[in-house]
Structure 1
Amino acid sequence: MTETLNSEPTPEQAALFARVRRMMLIAGLTTALAVGAVLVAIGYRFFRVEGSRPAVDVTATLPKDAKIIATAVTGDQLVVTLDLGGSVQIRTFDPRTLRSTGTLSFAREP
């Protein structure tokens, strides 16, 4: 009747407990590293300067009687196709600054 309920663990049990503690420590550190990586990725996307620029309002003047036929956006250019009284002209713009980067005119041969 004087038997104790919490006896000292055997050497095999102590080795097993140490091994379980070591595996839990590795799992906890791996989880903390993964959560930290996700938070860094979110912070990078949130505070990146390139994606947070103010809106720019620009008015482009077109020649008289010009009609816009088509527009397109690529990764680094904004393309506007114009009809200038029978001839076609393509104008390209930088989408970040909205400045003209070039003009390509087409005309019919006489």
Structure 2
Amino acid sequence: MTETELPGKTPEQAALIARVRRMMLIAGLTTALAVAAVLIAIGYRLFRSGGSAATASDVTAVLPKGARITATAVAGEELVVTLDIGGTTEIRTFDARTLKPLGRLKFANEP
């Protein structure tokens, strides 16, 4: 088998190879930076919510006598309960993680 000799690189070819190497370096650094940002965001979310609040396992909410739950919903980090108390509508909100009461909104008819 005979080997053919390849001629040396021309200045244009050397410049092109240098430009491609530079572009690959920029692309590699950008990719590494993006992966690092994603890992930092995931780690921040894991450690921030890890032990922030104890979850309630068994909670008993006491309703007024004759009250009836008409609807429940979850809005963001809140649990919303709609009550019918003797013809009056009341909305109570609770923290979804700890089930602590956050607020109460009463609706009444005008006389």
| TM-score under structure 2 length normalisation | 0.65
Instruction: State the identity as a percent.
Output: 58
- Is 2:108 the counterpart of 1:102? no
Q: Shift of the alpha carbon at 1:24?
A: 1.5
The aligned counterpart of 1:73 is: 74
Asked if the contact 1:87–1:108 (Cα under 8 Å) also holds between the matched residues in 2, the reply is: no
Rg bigger for which structure? 1
Q: Shift of the alpha carbon at 1:61?
A: 0.9
Moved more, 8-17 or 72-81: 72-81
Moved more, 99-108 or 60-69: 99-108
Please give the alpha-carbon distance, in whole angstroms, between the structure 1 residues aligned to 2:26 and 2:61.
61
Q: Shift of the alpha carbon at 1:14?
A: 2.1
State the structure with bigger RCO (CA 8 A, min sep 6), 1 or 2. Answer: 2
The aligned counterpart of 1:13 is: 13
Asked if the contact 1:67–1:82 (Cα under 8 Å) also holds between the matched residues in 2, the reply is: yes
Q: Shift of the alpha carbon at 1:92?
A: 1.6
- Is 2:25 the counterpart of 1:25? yes
Please give the alpha-carbon distance, in whole angstroms, between the structure 1 residues aligned to 2:30 and 2:12.
27
Moved more, 70-79 or 39-48: 70-79
What secondary structure is seen at the aligned counterpart in 2 of 1:21?
helix
Call closer, same or farther: CA 1:4–1:45 in 2, change over 3 Å.
Answer: same
Alignment deviations for residues 86-110 of structure 1 (CA, whole Å, 9 cap, x no partner): 332414233154225225153685x
The unaligned stretches of length 5 or more in structure 1 are none
| TM-score under structure 1 length normalisation | 0.65
The one-letter amino acid of 1:102's match is: R
What secondary structure is seen at the aligned counterpart in 2 of 1:24?
helix
Please give the alpha-carbon distance, in whole angstroms, between the structure 1 residues aligned to 2:21 and 2:107.
74
Q: Shift of the alpha carbon at 1:15?
A: 1.9
The aligned counterpart of 1:38 is: 38
